[in-house]
Each structure stands twice: as structure tokens, then as C-alpha cells.
């Protein structure tokens, strides 16, 4: 492993490690990447994200980029969107994707899972009113189908309606004909996501692979497949 | 035409019928001897004249097919019988019962004095095994399989190797001991025996695990292992067979063995993939000959298997690869009925095969020559168990370092306990050459004992053990649209994060593969419009279709069953101020298709059913029942309603089909039977039959499976309602049966009569 930076930086890294749960080496790697993306500046802007070539063909690119600038994800109890972010915010957002470490208690694991699902929820709830309305959900589906042209536009509506109906039915149960279902709240979201084991498993997986590839001498490159089905 | 044909046919038959003895037409006496093989001797006055046999018994020339059919019939009747006895099928797994039946039948045949047939390797490997494997491969759940492929490979390759060497080596040690009289068994033979006995058998695993409904992860792990270890088994078997004949082993041979393994495995997969692509490509052009679509699937898969076997590659892996590769493309191309046909034929064949295999195992036990050696057999059984447990525990320890979701002790126990041996081991043992392996009978006895032990003891006790240990069972949740959306969303999200990190990981490559698939492969292999259909939409349509069928089957529009047992309806979900939405544009061709369908539906007068033609899929006569049902109960679904309204009434706020259906389902009072009144133009729509047998309009049929346009709002004008309901039942009936009517009639008539 290469030499670390000078000591003040190391201290910062240790603080960050405390806060986000990454190890110091991982933070070092991520900082390198941050500097690469921001062309050695202190702050990262939206344009820097847009410049990443592989991201261009991702249908939900804009939502991913927005998630990095969404202040709700910075764990600072603030709202709104930032214009540019520093390394600490970058790291905080990335920390949503780390797997639970082995020495976590059940409660900590539960908190981590909740935080991850909150991150997902925030990605959908763009107007920050605490609920995912039909419009917002439709926007999500349209983005997913955004590469399909006209066919996608019309069926998006049908798909969204069906999906919304399902969520409402499973989370609320009985509503009179005049009640209006405002939207999916976070609690409903948790309930809906609960039986999707595949959904839960995936969030954890990415950073493990990331770590493996970046630290080849820590672990072999080949990592045996994972499954999301079993949730201990 | 018919009366003349009848007379002609009658004359023809009369001429062909040989005259019975004594009623010969006078005047043909002289020409007499062409009466048959038992021809008349002279002119009938001869005393040694044999009477013409009215009834004769000639079994020989139908013996083979007759016996085969009898066996298959026996197997099927047995299967039937088990499920009629109420308690039996819940205690004892079917495989055990079948083996017992086989034993009984074998005993019976022995008692009669005949020689009971043995499960020949030819019969087994070429006829009985492929249907089971194809069934497994075609319906393989791809996502859990690929997610666990690393674990599965570890178990399949390393686990099987470990088992083979452990059992073989220790058995050799046992054989060397004094007092066992087994000194003749040399190392190579022992290792060969070890490799035969160590492979987990897919047939047995399927048979047992099918009944215990264990959770998806464990199922795919054990089952995947049993499928993938075929390559290892094939290589080891041939390797040790060669070595046993040759006598010695060098390092070069070991190295060649490893190369051979890679060739066998990858070659098998390659062969399978090639045939799979061919099958997908063929299915692209079958739109005019729907009847033989399933045949292509079966034939190409079987050819893949046989081709792999020609080169001694792994036939099982070829079959799995073929089925898995061709499935997404074939399913996008074939009709709904063909899909159902393929599913049921595969299930039927694999079920019959499985039953026959177990029965034959029983019969072969009685039939074979056995050489029972207490030491050998007992040691084999014990060593197999021990090897399996040690192997699983050791491998899990290593694997858990790389898995996020670790395998618990309970999981390990089930995996170890589920390692059943079966007919493949027996057949491989049977193939051994008696000359090179004089102890073949002993081997066979030991193999059969192990099979019996695993199937009976482990098979019977696994179910109570699963309950006792409270292992997670299979979750019966249907895959919902929400889940699909979220899974896709997460896939893209994780790929995006990987790109931001600059890391080319699992998701990146999966995404690349998907994009390649969409851009190039789908265009080649899927016919027409479907090639551009994104996965989410395809899933949505499938779901809609399923719900529609469920709704109809549950009695027509009372309530959407099971999926939404709440009173939440779409009214509750709509926002308070509905936003004005411009009508989305349908593509021109799509609009034209829809128009065509509606026109043909609305204008059919009662058509007579065409004369029977073997090559057409005739509309179900049962459909008349649907007709009545719909006419009686006017609670129909909105599937066609929206199309109709879209094209004729520019509605202010278009609804989705789901919304309208949901409202309909939850509010049954809304659609009651309206009294007939003269002011409302009613349209008699009767079910159409195919007009020209050989042409089927595939565009319409495709339309029948996809619902695309949005519907209009609920406050429709009354005059539309009848028409819609009429269209409705048409559309629904068409959804349920193919084919649709041909397009060439009545193009120019007005939309409404």
C-alpha cells in the first residue's frame, strides 16, 4: 500500500472514517477518485458528473446526480439542493452503499438498512414533501422507459397506476371511495420494500466489489457470487 | 361433395375387404389364390383345407412398442394411484414409492420366470434423462442462478472432486486391509468408483426438493450443483477409465485431465448456446406455422444434447445452456398457446421420465447380479456421508468469506443432507466394462445401496427435518410490478454508482451485456415489434394478461382476486386536481392495427365453423359459453374499452386500464344490465371462427396479448357501453384463444353498421 498523506490529512481521514464507517484506506482511494473527477479542485459540480462517459447511457442519470447534491442525504438535517459538494458530502453519499460490517449489532444493521431505504426514498421524492405522489412515481417509470420512445410514454401511465394501487392496497388496506391516497410515505415504502429480498440485498453489494477490485492484494479479485434472497 | 365421397369411400372399402371364408363372390374361384397368405388350396374341395383365420394372434411384431407403452402406462397409473391415497404422499416421497413399485414389479417378473429388464445406459442417457434436464434448464430461474453461480460452481467442481478423491482414496485404504478379501481392487478402480458415486443427482434432488418447498436460495444451490457437476463427473469417469485400462498415471495426464475438464464444460455450454441461438432464430419466422413451434424447441434442444454427447462433452450443460439461451427470445416470438404447449409437454415428459427412472431402478435391483460384500458396502455408505458433510462444511467456510449473505449452519445442513445420489450413478456403473473391472457387480451393489439409502432415508426424513429446523420455506409471493420497477431502478442506480467510482464491477458488465443484447441480439432473434419492447413493459403486459385471465376465470368481474383484497381503488389514488394530459401519440401502424381489430370484431355475423382441418387451431367451441356469460353478466373488464374510446372519443382525462378495471372490480354496482331500448344501437357480435384455415393474422393475435393505449374516463356516454361490452367479450375471448380472424374481409365497411 502506498504511503499515506501527511498527518493532518490522516487525522481528517480518521474523523471521516468514524463518521461514515469506511476504513482509512477506502477513504484515501475515494479521495483520489474525487480529485480525479473534480480535476483537483475542492468542490465537485454537476458538470463534473455529467462528464463521466459511462454515465451517459444510464437512463436515471439525472436522478443519480441529483442524489449527490440533495442535502437530505448529507445527514445534516437540512433540505434543498446544493450547488456544489465537497469531499465530505461525497463520502457521506457513498456511505449509503457500504455493506454492514461484521461487528455490527442487529440494531445498527437495522439503522443502516433504514438509512439506505431513506436514501432511495429521497431519490424518488423530488419535491421533498415526505411522500411519493403519483406524479413523482410516474416520473420514475418514465425515466426507466426513457429509451423506448413513444411506446414508453403511454404505458408508463398504466404501469404507474398499477404500481401505486398495489402499494396503497398493501399498506393501507381499506379506504372509502372518497378518501384520497396522498402518496407513498416513508413508512409505506418500508413496508412495500420489505418482501423484496432482492432489493434489500443489492444495496450492500456494490461497495464490497468496489473494495475488492481496488485492493487486490487484500482480497482476491474473484468474489464468489452473492444472493439477495436470504436476509438473516 | 360429401355424398359422392361417401359412396366412393364405401365402394373402395368393399373392394378392399377380403372375403370371409365361404362367402366368396362366385366366379372368382378360379382366380382364387390371391385370397391371402393362408391361401386356398385348390378349389375348396380339398380335405386339408384350413379355414381362413378370422382372428389371429401375432404379438411379435408389436412387441417392442407394446411393452414400452405398457411400462409408461404402468408408471403413470402408479403416479395417479399415489395421489389418490391421502396420507401416503405426505409421508413418503414419491421417489421411494416408485422404487418399491419397481421392486415389486421386478419380483413379479422374476417369479413368472422371465428376465426383468435392466435400466440400460443407452435408454437412460438418450431417452429418459434429456426431458428432465431440458425441463430444468428451460425453466431455470436465471436471476438467482447467476447471482449464486460462484457458490454453485464451488460446490459442483471442488465439492465433487473432494468427494471423489476422499471416497476413492479411503476405500482403497479399506480394501488394502487384511481380512476383507478385497485386495484385487486397485487404486484406479477405487477412484473410478469414487467419482461415480460422488456426484449429486439432479433427478433425485428434483424429485425430493420439489415436495418440500424449500426457500429459493437453498433450492438453487443444491439443484444448480447437481446440474453443473455433470462436467466433472464426465471428465473424471473417462479419465479414470482410461487410467485403469492403461495402468499408470503421470503428471502430464493430470494436466491433460484439467484441460479436458475445461474443454468438456465450456464446449458443452458453447454447443448448447449455438443451438439455442439457432432455435431463437428459427422461432422468429414461425408466425405462419404456429402449430409446430414447440417442436422446434424440443428438437433443437435434443440435437444440442446429442451433439454434445458425440464429442463426449457434457450433454447436461449443453441442454441447460440451450434452454436458458433460447428462452427469452423464443418466448417473445411464439404464441401464447405454443408457450403453454411447451410448458406442459416438458412437464409431462419429465414427469413420466422421472417415474420410469425410479421404477426401473427398482426393477434393476431385482434383475441385476449382485455381489454383496459387507465391508465394501457399509464403508461406501459411511464414507459418502462423511465426505459430503466435510466437503460442505469446509467449502462453506471458504465461500462465506466472499458472500455477503452468509450461509448459516442450518443452510449447510440442508445442503449436505440434500446431496442425493440417483440413477446417473447407477447407469455410469452399469456402463463399466466387465473385462477391465471384474468387481463391477460389487460396485453396482454398493451403488444401489447408496442410492437406496439416500433416497429412502434422506428423502423421507428431510421433510420433517426441514420443519423441525424451521428452515425458511419458499415465499409464495407473486412478482409484483413494484418489485420489477425497483429491481430495474436499483440495477441502474448501482451501475451508475459504479461508474462514478470508476470501478468496473459486476453491475457494469451486466449493464454492458444488457445493452449489447438490446442493441444487436434482440433485433436478430425477435420478430417484428417485440424486439424493441423494454423488459418493464413486457412484464407489465404479462401481468395484465394474467390478471385479466384470473378475473374472467373467477366469474367475470366480481373482484380482482387475491392480489388486492382491499377496498382501495384507483379513485383513491388519483390526485385531487387531475392534470390535463395531452393524448400520447400512438404510432401510425399501431393505430391501424387497433382499428383493424375493432372493425373485424364488430362486423362479424355468425360464421359457420369451417370444416375440420388438422393444420389449424380451431377456435374453442367452449367459447360459446363465454359468449353467454358475458352477455348475461355485463361486468366486463376494460381491456377493449379503452381502445375503442381512444379512437372514437377524444376523452378529456384518459385513464389507465388498471384504473378502470380496478374501479370496475371494486364497485360492482356501477355496471348493471341496462334495459334494452330502441334508441341505443346494439350490435350483435358473435364469436368468429377463422375464415381461411391457413392464414392467421398475427398482428391481431399479437394485439390480443398486448394492451397499450390508455382508456378514457369512467363517465362515458351510454351509447358506447353496449358496443364496448360487445367488443370486450370479443377481445377477451381472443385473448384466450388463438388465432384471430383473418384480415382480408370487410375492410371497407364502415366502423359502425
Let me know if B288 is exposed, middle or buried by CB neighbors in 10 A (0-12, 13-18, 19+). Answer: exposed
Tens-digit pLDDT profile for residues B431-477 = 887 777 778 888 889 999 999 999 999 888 888 888 888 777 776 66
Best of A109, A206, A213 to substitute, by most chain B Cβ atoms within 10 angstroms, is A206
Interface A–B counts its CB contacts (< 8 A) at 256
Tens-digit pLDDT profile for residues B261-277 = 889 889 999 999 999 99
Residue length, chain A? Answer: 232
Highest mean pLDDT among B85-99, B491-505, B652-666: B85-99
C-alpha distances in Å from residue B713, one per residue of B181, B541, B571, B660, B729: 88, 21, 11, 8, 20
- List, in order, residues 6 or more apart from B291 with CB less than 8 Å away: B615, B616, B617
Q: Do A227 and B494 touch (CB under 8 A)?
A: no
Residue B621 — pLDDT band, cuts 50, 70, 90? very low
pLDDT value for A6: 53
Residues in chain B with CB shorter than 8 Å from the CB of A167 are 482
Q: Do A180 and B667 touch (CB under 8 A)?
A: no
Nearest CA in chain B to A100: B404
Task: Compute the average pLDDT of residues B348-356.
Answer: 90
Per-residue pLDDT in tens (0 to 9) along chain A, 232 residues: 444 445 667 777 778 777 777 777 777 777 888 888 888 888 888 888 888 877 777 888 888 888 888 777 777 777 777 788 888 888 888 887 776 666 677 787 777 777 877 888 888 777 777 777 778 877 877 777 776 555 656 677 777 777 777 777 766 666 655 566 667 777 777 766 655 544 445 555 554 444 444 443 433 222 223 322 222 2
pLDDT value for A211: 45
Cα separation, B148 vs A179, in Å, equals 45
Chain B 688-707, CB below 8 Å of chain A: which residues?
A: 707
Among A45-49, B579-583, B643-647, whose mean pLDDT is lowest?
A: B579-583
pLDDT value for B348: 92
pLDDT at B409 over 50: yes
Task: Compute the average pLDDT of residues B65-91.
Answer: 84
Cα separation, A152 vs A164, in Å, equals 18
Sign of CA dihedral A165, A168, A170, A173: negative
Residues in chain A with CB shorter than 8 Å from the CB of B534 are 145, 147-148, 152
Cell of A196: 423484496
Cα separation, B696 vs B686, in Å, equals 19
Residues in chain B with CB shorter than 8 Å from the CB of A166 are 480-482, 563-564
Residue B182 — pLDDT band, cuts 50, 70, 90? low
Cα separation, B531 vs B584, in Å, equals 21
pLDDT value for B750: 39
Residue B346 — pLDDT band, cuts 50, 70, 90? very high
Of B399, B496, B570, the CB nearest to A60: B496
User: What is the H or E stretch that residue A131 is in?
Assistant: strand A131-132
Chain A 186-205, CB below 8 Å of chain B: which residues?
A: 192-193, 195-196, 198-199, 201-205
Best of B152, B222, B573 to substitute, by most chain A Cβ atoms within 10 angstroms, is B573
C-alpha distances in Å from residue B10, one per residue of B36, B543, B552: 22, 54, 47
Phi, psi of A184 (to 5 degrees): -85, 115
Of B500, B504, B662, the CB nearest to A55: B500
Of A61, A180, A196, the CB nearest to B576: A180
What's chain B's average pLDDT?
72
pLDDT value for B589: 64
Residues in chain A with CB shorter than 8 Å from the CB of B156 are none
Angle at A85 between CA A80 and CA A86, to 5 degrees: 140
Tens-digit pLDDT profile for residues A21-43 = 777 777 777 788 888 888 888 88
Q: Do A165 and B570 touch (CB under 8 A)?
A: yes
pLDDT at B322 over 90: yes
Cell of B404: 455477503
C-alpha distances in Å from residue B231, one per residue of B153, B196, B256, B420: 11, 12, 15, 17
pLDDT at B604 over 60: no
Q: What is the DSSP letter of B248?
A: -
pLDDT value for B206: 87
Residue B565 — pLDDT band, cuts 50, 70, 90? very low
pLDDT value for A34: 82
Nearest residue to B733 (alpha-carbon basis) of B636, B662, B666: B636
A93 near B CB under 8 A: no
pLDDT value for A128: 76
Highest mean pLDDT among A27-31, B206-210, B677-681: B206-210
Of B215, B481, B507, the CB nearest to A206: B507
The answer to whether residues A73 and A96 touch, using CB atoms and an 8 Å cutoff, is yes
pLDDT value for B591: 64
Chain A 142-161, CB below 8 Å of chain B: which residues?
A: 144-145, 147-148, 150-155, 157-161
Q: Do A232 and B570 touch (CB under 8 A)?
A: no
B497 near A CB under 8 A: yes
Cell of B322: 440451450
Nearest residue to A161 (alpha-carbon basis) of A181, A178, A143: A181
Q: What is the dihedral of CA A70, A71, A74, A76, to 10 degrees?
A: -170
Q: Do A231 and B405 touch (CB under 8 A)?
A: yes
Highest mean pLDDT among A53-62, B268-277, B616-625, B736-745: B268-277
In order, the DSSP letters of A43-59 are SEEHHHHHT-GGGGG-T
Q: Do A210 and B572 touch (CB under 8 A)?
A: no
pLDDT at B697 over 50: no
Cα separation, B736 vs B551, in Å, equals 12
Nearest CA in chain B to A192: B482
Residue B307 — pLDDT band, cuts 50, 70, 90? very high
Cα separation, B364 vs B570, in Å, equals 63
Chain B 385-424, CB below 8 Å of chain A: which residues?
A: 399, 402-406, 408, 411
Min distance B460 CA to chain A CA atoms (Å): 26
Cα separation, B675 vs B683, in Å, equals 14
pLDDT at B575 over 60: no
Nearest CA in chain B to A63: B493
Residue B597 — pLDDT band, cuts 50, 70, 90? low
User: What is the H or E stretch that residue B583 is in?
Assistant: none
Q: What is the CA radius of gyration of chain B?
A: 33
pLDDT at B130 over 80: yes
Min distance A35 CA to chain B CA atoms (Å): 12
Chain B 573-612, CB below 8 Å of chain A: which residues?
A: 573-576, 579, 584-587
pLDDT at B570 over 60: no
Tens-digit pLDDT profile for residues B519-564 = 787 777 777 766 666 777 777 777 777 777 777 777 654 444 444 4
Q: Do A230 and B667 touch (CB under 8 A)?
A: no
User: b/e map of A184-198 (b: 16 or more CB within 10 Å)?
Assistant: bbbebbeebbeebbb
Amino acid at each position: 500500500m502506498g504511503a499515506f498523506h501527511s498527518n493532518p490529512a490522516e487525522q481528517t481521514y480518521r474523523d471521516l472514517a468514524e463518521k461514515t464507517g469506511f476504513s482509512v484506506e477506502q477513504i484515501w482511494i475515494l479521495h483520489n477518485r474525487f480529485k480525479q473527477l473534480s480535476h483537483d479542485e475542492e468542490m465537485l459540480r454537476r458538470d463534473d458528473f455529467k462528464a463521466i462517459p459511462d454515465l451517459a447511457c444510464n437512463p436515471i442519470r439525472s436522478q443519480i446526480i441529483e442524489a449527490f447534491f440533495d442535502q437530505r442525504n448529507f445527514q445534516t438535517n437540512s433540505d434543498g439542493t446544493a450547488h456544489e459538494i465537497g469531499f465530505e458530502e461525497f463520502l457521506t453519499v457513498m456511505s449509503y452503499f457500504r455493506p454492514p460490517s461484521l461487528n455490527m449489532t442487529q440494531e445498527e444493521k437495522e439503522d443502516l438498512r433504514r438509512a439506505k431505504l431513506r436514501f432511495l426514498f429521497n431519490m424518488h421524492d423530488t419535491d421533498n414533501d415526505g411522500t411519493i405522489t403519483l406524479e413523482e412515481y410516474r416520473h420514475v417509470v418514465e425515466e426507466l422507459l426513457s429509451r423506448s420512445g413513444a411506446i414508453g410514454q403511454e404505458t408508463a401511465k398504466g404501469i404507474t397506476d398499477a404500481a401505486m394501487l398495489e402499494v396503497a392496497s398493501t399498506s393501507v388496506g381499506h379506504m372509502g371511495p372518497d378518501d384520497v391516497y396522498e402518496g407513498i410515505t416513508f413508512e409505506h415504502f418500508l413496508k412495500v420494500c420489505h418482501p423484496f429480498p432482492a432489493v434489500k440485498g443489492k444495496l450492500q453489494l456494490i461497495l464490497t466489489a468496489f473494495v475488492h477490485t481496488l485492493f487486490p492484494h487484500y482480497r482476491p479479485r474473484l468474489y464468489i457470487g452473492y444472493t439477495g434472497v436470504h436476509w438473516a | 361433395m360429401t355424398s359422392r365421397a361417401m359412396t366412393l369411400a364405401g365402394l373402395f372399402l368393399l373392394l378392399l375387404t377380403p372375403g370371409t371364408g365361404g362367402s366368396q363372390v362366385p366366379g372368382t374361384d378360379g382366380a382364387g389364390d390371391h385370397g391371402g397368405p393362408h391361401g386356398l388350396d385348390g378349389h375348396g374341395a380339398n380335405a386339408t383345407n384350413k379355414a381362413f383365420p378370422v382372428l389371429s394372434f401375432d404379438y411379435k411384431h408389436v412387441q417392442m412398442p407394446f411393452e414400452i407403452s405398457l411400462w409408461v402406462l404402468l408408471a403413470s397409473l402408479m403416479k395417479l394411484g399415489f395421489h389418490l391415497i391421502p396420507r401416503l404422499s405426505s409421508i413418503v416421497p414419491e421417489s421411494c414409492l416408485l422404487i418399491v413399485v419397481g421392486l415389486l414389479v421386478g419380483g413379479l417378473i422374476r417369479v413368472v420366470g422371465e428376465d426383468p429388464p435392466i435400466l440400460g445406459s443407452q435408454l437412460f442417457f438418450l431417452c429418459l434423462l434429456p426431458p428432465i434436464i431440458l425441463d430444468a434448464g428451460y425453466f431455470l430461474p436465471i436471476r438467482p442462478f447467476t447471482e449464486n453461480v460462484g457458490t454453485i460452481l464451488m460446490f459442483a467442481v471442488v465439492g465433487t472432486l473432494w468427494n471423489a478423491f476422499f471416497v476413492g482414496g479411503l476405500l482403497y485404504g479399506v480394501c488394502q486391509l487384511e481380512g476383507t478379501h478385497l485386495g484385487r481392487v486397485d487404486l484406479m478402480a477405487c477412484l473410478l468408483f469414487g467419482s461415480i458415486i460422488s456426484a449429486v443427482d439432479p433427478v433425485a434432488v428434483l424429485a425430493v426438493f420439489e415436495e418440500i418447498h424449500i426457500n429459493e436460495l437453498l433450492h438453487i444451490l443444491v439443484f444448480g450443483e447437481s446440474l453443473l457437476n455433470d462436467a466433472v463427473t464426465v471428465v473424471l469417469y473417462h479419465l479414470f477409465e482410461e487410467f485403469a485400462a492403461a495402468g499408470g498415471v503421470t503428471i502430464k495426464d493430470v494436466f491433460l485431465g484439467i484441460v479436458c475438464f475445461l474443454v468438456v464444460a465450456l464446449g458443452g455450454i458453447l454447443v448448447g448456446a449455438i443451438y439455442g441461438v439457432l432455435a431463437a432464430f428459427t422461432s422468429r419466422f414461425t408466425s405462419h406455422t404456429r402449430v409446430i413451434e414447440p417442436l422446434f424447441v424440443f428438437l433443437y434442444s435434443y440435437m444440442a444434447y446429442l451433439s454434445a454427447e458425440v464429442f463426449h462433452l457434457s450433454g447436461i450443460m449443453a441442454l441447460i445452456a440451450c434452454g436458458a439461451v433460447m428462452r427469452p427470445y423464443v418466448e417473445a416470438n411464439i404464441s401464447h398457446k405454443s408457450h403453454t404447449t411447451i410448458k406442459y409437454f416438458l412437464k409431462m415428459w419429465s414427469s413420466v421420465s422421472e417415474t420410469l427412472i425410479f421404477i426401473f431402478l427398482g426393477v434393476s435391483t431385482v434383475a441385476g447380479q449382485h455381489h454383496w460384500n459387507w465391508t465394501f458396502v457399509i464403508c461406501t455408505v459411511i464414507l459418502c456421508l462423511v465426505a459430503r458433510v466435510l466437503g460442505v462444511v469446509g467449502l462453506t467456510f471458504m465461500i462465506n468469506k466472499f458472500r455477503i449473505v452468509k450461509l448459516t449452519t442450518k443452510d449447510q445442513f440442508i445442503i449436505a443432507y440434500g446431496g442425493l445420489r440417483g440413477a446417473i450413478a447407477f447407469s455410469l456403473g452399469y456402463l463399466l466394462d466387465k473385462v477391465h473391472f471384474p468387481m463391477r457387480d460389487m460396485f453396482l451393489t454398493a451403488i444401489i445401496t447408496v442410492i437406496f439409502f439416500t433416497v429412502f432415508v434422506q428423502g423421507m426424513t428431510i421433510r420433517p427435518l426441514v420443519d423441525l429446523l424451521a428452515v425458511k420455506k419458499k415465499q409464495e409471493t407473486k412478482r409484483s410490478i413494484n418489485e420489477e420497477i425497483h429491481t430495474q431502478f436499483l440495477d441502474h442506480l448501482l451501475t451508475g454508482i459504479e461508474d462514478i467510482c470508476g470501478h468496473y464491477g459486476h453491475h457494469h458488465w451486466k449493464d454492458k451485456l444488457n445493452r449489447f443484447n438490446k442493441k444487436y441480439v434482440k433485433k436478430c432473434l425477435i420478430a417484428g415489434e417485440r424486439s424493441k419492447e423494454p423488459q418493464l413493459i413486457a412484464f407489465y403486459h404479462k401481468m395484465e394478461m394474467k390478471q385479466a385471465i384470473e378475473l374472467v376465470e373467477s366469474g367475470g368481474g366480481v373482484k380482482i382476486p387475491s392480489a388486492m383484497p382491499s377496498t382501495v381503488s384507483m379513485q383513491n389514488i388519483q390526485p385531487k386536481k387531475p392534470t390535463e394530459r395531452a393524448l400520447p401519440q400512438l404510432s401510425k401502424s399501431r393505430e391501424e392495427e387497433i382499428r383493424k381489430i375493432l372493425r373485424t370484431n364488430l362486423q362479424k355475423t355468425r360464421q359457420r365453423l369451417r370444416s375440420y382441418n388438422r393444420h389449424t387451431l380451431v377456435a374453442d367451441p367452449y367459447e360459446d359459453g363465454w359468449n353467454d356469460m358475458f352477455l348475461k353478466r355485463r361486468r366486463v373488464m376494460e381491456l377493449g374499452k379503452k381502445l375503442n374510446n381512444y379512437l372514437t372519443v377524444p376523452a378529456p382525462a384518459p385513464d389507465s386500464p388498471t384504473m378502470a378495471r380496478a374501479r370496475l372490480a371494486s364497485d360492482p354496482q356501477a355496471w348493471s344490465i341496462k334495459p334494452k331500448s330502441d334508441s341505443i344501437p346494439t350490435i350483435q357480435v358473435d364469436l368468429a371462427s377463422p375464415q381461411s384455415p391457413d392464414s392467421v393474422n398475427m398482428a391481431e393475435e399479437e394485439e390480443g396479448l398486448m394492451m397499450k393505449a390508455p382508456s378514457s374516463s369512467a363517465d362515458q356516454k351510454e351509447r358506447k357501453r353496449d358496443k364496448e361490452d360487445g367488443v370486450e367479450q370479443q377481445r377477451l375471448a381472443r385473448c384466450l384463444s388463438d388465432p384471430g380472424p383473418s384480415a382480408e374481409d370487410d375492410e371497407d365497411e364502415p366502423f359502425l353498421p
